[in-house]
Amino acid sequence: MNTNSFGRTIEMQEVGIAIAAIDLNPQMLNLDFLKFSGIIATDWELMRQPVLNASMAQLSFTNGVNVLAQPRNITFLEAMGDRKIEELQAPLAACRYVEKLPHADYQGVNINPKILVGFLETQNQDSARHFIVDGLLAPGKWQNMGQEPLKASLSLSYQLKRCPLTIAINEVKLQQPEGEAISALLFSGGFNYGIPPKYQEKKALYLQKRIETWPTDFEMFKEIVHKKFFEQDRSIFPNSSFL
């Protein structure tokens, strides 16, 4: 199947920086801690009441940054919108978090880009399903079972020179501000960086360097989606943001 046959699309992008540390406690994450430590700017404002309990802490800010902490993991998330890479605040906050807490028992960091592709110029609400089932999977009798059309998601693992990369592809529905939901695909990436033996005594320094180079991973992920899955030499999608 020609994956260029879906017509005009809309693309939404997001980046997440997920830091793993054995001794990370969600209860220590609150607005005062983030501001007084210098991890975020003092003028950041909460969008809604934060979630704070023993198992999870979640803070959402009006500038689009979300911080989610769970035992042994803290993630800084932000949608791209119409902004340039250098304007995003979540990766900077993630880097400052490691800088301000250099003695935590860090285990690694994941750079997690997401690209949501919605198919606009089609009357077929199953475009995303057809993309996976007919375009990415080899046909076989196993597809013709049950009373409803087969639905599928893919989880792919690659070994890059610098780190492992996972890509999950899932069918979703994207609700439009006006009108019904459209068929969409969610590409979720994970560049998984453990800490090499030679950096065991300088874990925070290693993580800072990896977080600072997140744009390299982000651009590579976009290139994979555009060239490898949609067979385009450059992005054909207008930038937007997650709703």
pTM of the shown model: 0.86
Q: Over 80: is that where the pLDDT of 193 sits?
A: yes
Work out the pLDDT band at 122, boundaries 50, 70, 90: low
Strand extents, DSSP E, the chain: 9-21, 51-52, 57-60, 65-70, 73-79, 106-119, 154-159, 164-174, 182-194
Rounded Cα distance, 128 and 135, in Å: 10
* Domains of the chain by residue range: 9-229
Pairwise CA distance, residues 87 & 89, whole Å:
6
Residues 124-178 pLDDT 10s: 677 888 888 888 887 777 777 776 777 778 999 999 999 999 999 999 888 777 7
214 with 113: CB under 8 angstroms? no
**In contact, 20 and 207? CB cutoff 8 Å:** no
DSSP state letters, 60-75: EBTTSEEEEEETTEEE
Comparing CA positions, the residue from 94, 27, 37, 103 lying closest to residue 67 is 94
45 token code pair: 């404002």
pLDDT at 241: 37
Range 78-97 burial, b when 16+ CB lie within 10 A, else e:
bbbeeeeeeebbbbbbbbbb
Write out pLDDT tens, residues 5-52.
445 577 889 999 999 999 899 988 999 999 999 999 999 999 999 999
**What is the pLDDT confidence band of residue 1, given thresholds at 50, 70 and 90?**
very low
Using DSSP, state whether 33 is helix, strand or coil: helix
Range with the lowest mean pLDDT among 19-23, 80-84, 117-121, 218-222? Answer: 117-121
Q: What is the pLDDT of residue 131?
A: 84
In 3-state terms the chain splits into helix, strand, coil percentages (rounded to 5) of 25, 30, 40
